[in-house]
Amino acid sequence: MIPELGDGAFGWREGVVVLIVLVGAYMGFLLLRMGRLRRKADTLEPDVPTPGAAGVDIPPVPGSDAGEQETSLPLAPSAWEEAPQQLARSPDAEGLEAEVLLLRDEVDALRSELAALRRELQAEIAQRRAPQAVSPLYNDAMQMATAGHNAATIAERCGISRAEADLVVALVNGQRS
């Protein structure tokens, strides 16, 4: 059931074909314009005349070879030249630079504070991990010392020497302070 073109019916397939033809025609048009631009660029002559072309002879500089003489023509201002000083140092730019410097100082201060807090946190974590590194043999002694028992009681109940019990009590007291 393909519609006849004579009927005036126009399907989506025909629309795609027409679009392809239009895009191709547009691309051909662009290629023609680009070719014309290239031909114009090839036929253009430079605006700066050479010294000999103008009919003016430039005398050689005394003490130099005539063949090595270079001419210095004034160059046209380039688009990349720096901005004038009055534009480069506007009050807005100076204010923004001052604000950027203040923000950098604040960031540096925050970084140093963060580093100090990080060191404190690492020290605290190391303190909290220290009791976890206790040998299971002395675990009961540590718990009793934390509860506040004296060294003699700890030595008697845990079966360790009095000197070891004194060390356990000193360790717990050192962690508290």
pLDDT for residue 20 is more than 60: yes
Domains held by the chain: number: 3
List, as one string, the DSSP characters of 19-83. Answer: HHHHHHHHHHHHHHHHHHHHHHHHHPPPSSPPTTTTT-PPPPPTTS-STT----PPPPPPTTPPP
- Average pLDDT over the chain reads 79
pLDDT band at 10 (very low <50, low <70, confident <90, very high): confident
CB atoms within 10 A of CB 116: 10
Q: Give the Cα separation of 126 and 13 in Å (integer).
A: 75
Answer whether residue 89 is part of any domain: no
Residue 1 is assigned to a structural domain of this protein = no
Do 139 and 115 sit in the same domain of this protein? no
- pLDDT (average), residues 122-143: 78
Decide if pLDDT at 64 tops 60. Answer: no
Pick 52 or 18 by higher pLDDT.
Answer: 18
Residue 144 has pLDDT above 70, yes or no: yes
* 160 within some domain: yes
Query: Could you tell me if 34 and 21 lie in one domain?
Result: yes
Residue 176 tokens, joined: 């508290």
Predicted local confidence at residue 1, as pLDDT: 46
Residue 49 scores a pLDDT above 90: no
Q: What residues make up the domain containing 169?
A: 134-177
Nearest to 146 by CA among 160, 135, 163, 138: 138
SS3 call for 112: helix
pLDDT (tens digit, 9 = 90+) per residue, 155-168?
999 889 999 999 99
